[in-house]
Structure 1
Amino acid sequence: MVTDKQGKIITVNPAFTKLTGYSTEEAIGKNPNMLSSGKQSNEFYEKMWQTLHANHPCNKR
């Protein structure tokens, strides 16, 4: 998943669609908040946002 400066998803890879169940078309233009399914801990989401805001790759599970 890659976001623009406003935090909107601009591209995703096949692993994203496989892991989340969202198609590319469903994700593009959305905010990553759409992924807050409750399946992960709050700590997971906090770390994800910190990583996104720091412009670091977030490619580890």
Structure 2
Amino acid sequence: MEANVGKTDRLIRIAAGLVLLSLVFVGPQSWWGLIGLVPLATAFINFCPAYRLLGVNTLGK
């Protein structure tokens, strides 16, 4: 697995993941908030499988 998630992309993924995950505990309290684990996981491992399929790399050189 070659890293393909850059710093800015990583910060956005962490923020989006935390917001989505908070939906489990506050607001509508829906289990759909667990989808927030996906952006969090891709942020922490610096790899996004969808980016690989699409040929996107936000990491730079």
Q: Which has the higher strand share?
A: 1
Give yes or no for TM over 0.5: no
TM normalised by structure 2 equals 0.33
Higher RCO (C-alpha 8 Å, min separation 6) = 2
TM normalised by structure 1 equals 0.33
